[in-house]
Amino acid sequence: MMSTEEEEKENTTATSPAEEAAKAENLPEAEPTTAEPVVEEETKESVPAAAEPEKKEPEEEEIEVVEEKIYTIPIARLGYATDRGHRSPKAVKDLRTYIARHMRADEVSISNEINEAIWERGINKPLRKITVRAVKDKEGKVIVYPAKSSQ
C-alpha cells in the first residue's frame, strides 16, 4: 500500500503548474494548448450568375443645379466642312464650344453617352444633329447629358 505522502505526490504531479496557479488565485482553469496548428476551412458558396444581384449603373451624381437647358445642336453646320478623318473629333470640340458659349461657362464636361453617340458611326460620319441636356452647377461647371425622351 501507498503511504499518504506518495498519494499526495501522485496527485500533485498529475496537475500542471498552470492549474495549480489557477487554483491558488481562484481563477478559472486555463485551457491546455495544443501544438497542432488549427486549419480554418474556407466556406465559399457558389452562386449561379442568374441569382447574383444585378449591379445598378451609377446614376447621375447629386449636384446642385443652377441652370438646366435642352439644346438641339446642328453638328453638320459646325463640323462637316472638315477633312473626313477629323469630323468626329471636331464635332466633340464644336459641341463643347457651343455649350460653353450658350451656357456662359468656362468648363464643360461631356458625358460618355453623348461621346458614344457622336462616335457611333465612326470618325468619318458623326451625327448631323444631336439633342442634349446641359446642366450647370453652382461652381459654373457644365455637364452635358443626353436629352430625356418625352415618352
| Beta-strand relationship, 65-73 and 130-137 | antiparallel
User: Does pTM top 0.75 for this prediction?
Assistant: no
| Beta-strand relationship, 107-110 and 141-146 | parallel
Closest Cα partner for 71 from 120, 135, 139, 138? 135
Q: Tens of pLDDT along 42-85?
A: 555 555 555 555 555 555 556 788 899 999 999 888 767 788 88
Element at 103 (helix H, strand E): helix 87-103
Match 458558396 to its residue by C-alpha cell: 45
Checking if the pLDDT of 151 tops 50, the result is no
Residue 72 φ/ψ, nearest 5 degrees: -110, 110
CATH class belonging to 66-146: alpha beta
Q: Tens of pLDDT along 105-122?
A: 999 999 999 999 999 999
